[in-house]
Amino acid sequence: MAENDVTGTIHLADNLAVLRDLPTASVDLIYIDPPFNTGKVQQRTQLRTVRSDDGDRVGFQGRRYESIVLGTKRFSDLFDDYLAFLEPRLTEAHRVLAPHGSFYFHVDYREVHYCKLLLDTIFGRDSFLNEIIWAYDYGGRPKTKWPPKHDNILLYAKDPSNYVFNYDEIERIPYMAPGLVGPEKAARGKLPTDTWWHTIVPTNGAEKTGYPTQKPLGVLRRIIQASSRPGALVLDFFAGSGTTGVAAREFGRRFLLVDDSREALEVMARRFDGADGIRWVGFDATPYRSSHKQGSLFSVPAAQNG
């Protein structure tokens, strides 16, 4: 395929290797949704040995020692691993982002604070624009605390004085109380705030790929529409089922997706079946083409956002 015909590239690879190969300032928009705690969980048990005639260890000159367990791994240990996994990838993300580029970081409410501190050191506090709350209403409800029903999406601009934000192109949403704003405003709708109500991917709808952590197209559509221009290059290096690529393509943006899981690539191969201009790197998508399988998940109607 000629380079000019490529509208999307999808890698089966560890994202750090791909990021390191990308030219500086070559990407217009980045969205990532990293899994929690992919750093290897290390079982660290701290021991102290004390002299004891009944001890289980024998040391110098036959002296016996007893081992006392001081503690096993702590939550913060796990976090250190997670942040150590993220840090070089986020540093590369900052490097490859164009001067006018934006970076969206999708994370769980339990990690967001730690990740924000890390991102502030990489991007600079001034580059922080928003914490978007994606609120949904699905799944079990504990009776012992407020049911947590949101994810956090941190938005940074590489340069807070010069970044893309297509205010006029953002899809408007209905007012909560249209009667209070008058018929003209009510008909036009309002711009979303930093709190986005949007359903999770419906369990039995056309959008569902079966990938466990798939995010809704409606959320990615809003991000891409607001923060990139037609023809822009959109990068997602924790791509999963490829939601970012599907949304980018719908709006005429190019995309670069990376995932190190073969299962994710298989899902993306089925999802992009029938789409022109896709280049696969490190993966053969041929067995997943429609000549092998019926139907394509690529085209789904735009969802109603809240």
Which residues would be at the binding site for ligand SAM (CB under 6 A)? 14-15, 33-35, 38, 211, 213-215, 238, 240-241, 243, 258-261, 264
Angle at 282 (CA atoms; ends 35, 95), nearest 5 degrees = 55
Return d(Cα 51, Cα 178) in angstroms, integer: 77
Is the CB of 49 or the CB of 261 nearer to ligand SAM? 261
In the complex, the smallest distance separating the C-beta of residue 288 from ligand SAM, rounded to whole angstroms, is: 16
In the complex, the smallest distance separating the C-beta of residue 192 from ligand SAM, rounded to whole angstroms, is: 20
In the complex, the smallest distance separating the C-beta of residue 115 from ligand SAM, rounded to whole angstroms, is: 14
Is the CB of 15 or the CB of 100 nearer to ligand SAM? 15
Q: For residue 35, what is the DSSP state? A: P
Q: Which two tokens stand for residue 43?
A: 């079982």
Is the CB of 130 or the CB of 213 nearer to ligand SAM? 213
Is the CB of 34 or the CB of 101 nearer to ligand SAM? 34
Burial, 230: exposed, middle or buried (Cβ in 10 Å; 0-12, 13-18, 19+)? exposed
Q: Which two tokens stand for residue 153?
A: 């999406």
Beta strands across the sheet bearing 195-197: 195-197, 128-135, 150-157, 97-107, 27-32, 233-236, 254-259, 8-12, 278-281
Q: Which two tokens stand for residue 106?
A: 């999708």
In the complex, the smallest distance separating the C-beta of residue 178 from ligand SAM, rounded to whole angstroms, is: 32
Nearest to ligand SAM by Cβ — which residue? 240
Single-letter residue type at 157 = A
Is the CB of 38 or the CB of 45 nearer to ligand SAM? 38
In the complex, the smallest distance separating the C-beta of residue 33 from ligand SAM, rounded to whole angstroms, is: 4
